[in-house]
């Protein structure tokens, strides 16, 4: 019997994502001037206020207030009427030095013997459902909000949008797990106040359905376009009004959108957040590494759908183990346990090896902090960072290295494909 599956996304202006972006902007600035920085930085945002807290071991000094304000302004919180804007909000910093008890388990005389920054299990997932090997419901949810943000910043076709928004997509699947159609789409977007409540809601509904959605569809591959139909149930701003939003409407915290950040409820999640953590924290680096493994396995033809788990003990170099689940989609006679053994031989999962393989000691993290850490475009961008003393550095930074299909040939050779 056919079934429904739903995933959601939140925009860069959602309070939790504002917090994530500030935390990751701090990570990038620390790494830009000191590649060996150890950082665990949390951010809280609320009405007119930003609170930074965490632990840092670094040889550089940053103007954390300026970094927070620049990030907020870039997102679009630039007006006093939002009750939260980058130029006037208070920024309180309670960042202090990293605990020696934690650091002693991570730093070693030999970089290769670097211990895991924490215990825990991390998951990576990939599926043939989309061209970027991501679950379709989540991919569409992200796309809707990115298009909404583009329209907001263009300020031409739709001129009343504010930064905070959420989306949700429900897809009907066949018994053999193939997407059949889009059943429902939910969009809640913050907006200026204009006219009466009824006319506001009617205008927003019409613009989302007739401007935003067609722009999303136009950028999709043809097979996915056919899943859109006239029978989709739309819930647009279902409360009827969304003027009060952002950190004024709802306090935001780093790390509260981990399912949005990964696979939208498909596969699994180990529980650890990503933003605000340098790559010695395996919550982040190993989650990227397992995504890299899963994507290359699917692209190589080992299976149509793959879940990869790795686990660590704090301060221990080698992982506790690697687990593979192909959901019965492996086309040849090999068990998931046998596949896992080959994966262990192909991919060095020691923390330092992951950092080296995926180039994780570069300031690549601001771009991850909204619209998902997985399924994104691998590209090289130029970024400039400045210190309070006037020193600046310009770097070419490779983004989303874990999305590269650079192990496909090695996987095929190992599996005889």
pLDDT tens profile 328-381? 999 999 999 999 999 999 999 999 999 999 999 999 999 999 999 999 999 999
Q: How far is CA 260 from CA 137, 138, 235, in A?
A: 11, 8, 20
22 within domain boundaries:
no
Structure tokens at 152: 């907001």
Are residues 220 and 151 both part of a single domain? yes
pLDDT category of residue 315 using cuts at 50, 70 and 90:
confident
Are residues 236 and 286 both part of a single domain? no
Give yes or no for a contact between 23 and 369, defined as CB atoms under 8 angstroms apart: yes
pLDDT mean over 263-274: 95
Q: How far is CA 6 from CA 168, 194, 272, in A?
A: 7, 32, 22
CATH of the domain at 321: 3.30.300.10
pLDDT mean over 279-294: 96
Is residue 396 scored above 70 in pLDDT? yes
Extract the annotated binding site: 14, 16, 42, 55, 98, 164-166, 241-242, 250, 256-257, 273, 277, 281
Residue finishing a domain among 215, 244, 273: 244
42 within domain boundaries:
no
Residue finishing a domain among 197, 214, 244: 244
33 within domain boundaries:
no
Is residue 262 scored above 70 in pLDDT? yes
The reported pTM is 0.96
pLDDT mean over 99-106: 58
pLDDT category of residue 108 using cuts at 50, 70 and 90:
low
pLDDT of res. 412: 98
85 within domain boundaries:
no
Quick check: helix, strand or coil at residue 230?
coil
154 within domain boundaries:
yes
Average pLDDT, the chain: 95
Are residues 291 and 411 both part of a single domain? yes
pLDDT category of residue 105 using cuts at 50, 70 and 90:
low
Q: Report the candidate in 58, 33, 24, 72 with the shortest Cα–Cα distance to residue 284.
A: 24
Is residue 110 scored above 80 in pLDDT? no
Is residue 101 scored above 60 in pLDDT? no
In which domain, by residue range, is 150 found? 3-9+136-244
Residue finishing a domain among 192, 220, 244: 244
Give the number of other Cβ atoms within 10 Å of residue 124's Cβ.
27
Extract the annotated binding site for Mg(2+): 16
Extract the annotated binding site for K(+): 42
Give yes or no for a contact between 149 and 166, defined as CB atoms under 8 angstroms apart: no
Phi, psi of 228 (to 5 degrees): -80, 140
Are residues 307 and 202 both part of a single domain? no
Are residues 224 and 310 both part of a single domain? no
Structure tokens at 323: 């687990």
pLDDT of res. 97: 85
pLDDT mean over 182-205: 96
333 within domain boundaries:
yes
364 within domain boundaries:
yes
Are residues 152 and 214 both part of a single domain? yes
Is residue 27 scored above 70 in pLDDT? yes
CA 30-284-52 angle, to 5 degrees, is 45
Are residues 305 and 410 both part of a single domain? yes
Phi, psi of 242 (to 5 degrees): -145, 65
pLDDT of res. 104: 56
Are residues 237 and 330 both part of a single domain? no
Q: Report the candidate in 249, 208, 362, 276 with the shortest Cα–Cα distance to residue 54.
A: 276
- Read off the DSSP letter of residue 116: B
Give how many domains the chain has, as a whole number: 2
pLDDT mean over 243-252: 97
Q: How far is CA 56 from CA 109, 274, 285, 287, in A?
A: 20, 16, 18, 22
Is residue 58 scored above 90 in pLDDT? yes
301 within domain boundaries:
yes
Is residue 112 scored above 70 in pLDDT? no
Lowest mean pLDDT among 35-49, 99-113, 130-144, 287-301: 99-113
Are residues 195 and 311 both part of a single domain? no
pLDDT category of residue 103 using cuts at 50, 70 and 90:
low
pLDDT mean over 154-171: 98
pLDDT mean over 95-124: 74
pLDDT of res. 116: 85
Is residue 98 scored above 80 in pLDDT? no
Q: Percent of the chain, pLDDT > 90?
A: 92
Extract the annotated binding site for L-methionine: 55, 98, 250, 281
pLDDT of res. 109: 56
Q: Percent of the chain, pLDDT > 70?
A: 97
Are residues 235 and 290 both part of a single domain? no
Are residues 209 and 308 both part of a single domain? no
Are residues 236 and 289 both part of a single domain? no
């Amino acid at each position: 019997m056919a079934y429904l599956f739903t995933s959601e996304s939140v925009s860069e202006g959602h309070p939790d994502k504002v917090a994530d972006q500030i935390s990751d902007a701090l990570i990038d600035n620390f790494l830009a001037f000191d590649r060996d920085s150890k950082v665990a930085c949390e951010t809280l945002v609320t009405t007119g206020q930003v609170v930074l807290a965490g632990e840092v071991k670094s040889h550089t000094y940053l103007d954390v207030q300026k970094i927070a304000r620049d990030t907020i302004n870039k997102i679009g919180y630039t007006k006093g009427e939002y009750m939260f804007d980058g130029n006037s909000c208070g920024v309180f910093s309670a960042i202090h030095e990293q605990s020696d008890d934690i650091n002693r388990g991570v730093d070693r005389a030999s970089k290769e013997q670097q211990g895991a920054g924490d215990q825990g299990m991390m998951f990576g997932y990939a599926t043939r459902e989309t061209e970027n090997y991501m679950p379709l419901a989540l991919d569409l949810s992200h796309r809707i909000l990115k298009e909404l943000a583009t329209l907001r910043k263009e300020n031409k076709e739709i001129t009343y949008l504010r930064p905070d928004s959420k989306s949700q997509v429900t897809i009907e699947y066949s018994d053999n797990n193939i997407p059949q159609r889009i059943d429902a789409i939910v969009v809640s977007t913050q907006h200026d106040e204009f006219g009466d409540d009824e006319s506001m809601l009617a205008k927003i509904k019409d613009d989302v359905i007739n401007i935003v959605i067609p722009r999303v569809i136009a950028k999709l591959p043809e097979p996915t376009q056919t899943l859109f139909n006239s029978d989709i149930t739309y819930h647009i701003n279902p409360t009827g009004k969304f003027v009060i939003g952002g950190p004024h409407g709802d306090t935001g915290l780093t790390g509260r959108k981990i399912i949005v950040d990964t696979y939208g409820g498909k596969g699994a999640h180990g529980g650890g957040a990503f933003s605000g953590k340098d790559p010695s924290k395996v919550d982040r680096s190993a989650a990227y590494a397992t995504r890299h493994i899963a994507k290359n396995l699917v692209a190589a033809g080992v299976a149509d759908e793959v879940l990869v788990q790795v686990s660590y003990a704090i301060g221990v170099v080698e992982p506790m183990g690697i687990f593979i689940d192909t959901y019965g989609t492996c086309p040849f006679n090999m068990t998931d346990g046998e596949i896992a053994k080959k994966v262990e031989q192909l991919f060095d999962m020691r923390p330092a090896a992951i950092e080296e393989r995926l180039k994780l000691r570069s300031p690549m993290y601001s771009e991850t902090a909204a619209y998902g850490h997985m399924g994104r475009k691998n590209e090289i961008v130029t970024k400039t960072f400045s210190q309070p003393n006037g020193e600046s550095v310009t770097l070419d930074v490779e983004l989303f290295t874990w999305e590269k299909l650079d192990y496909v040939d090695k996987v095929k050779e190992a599996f005889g494909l």
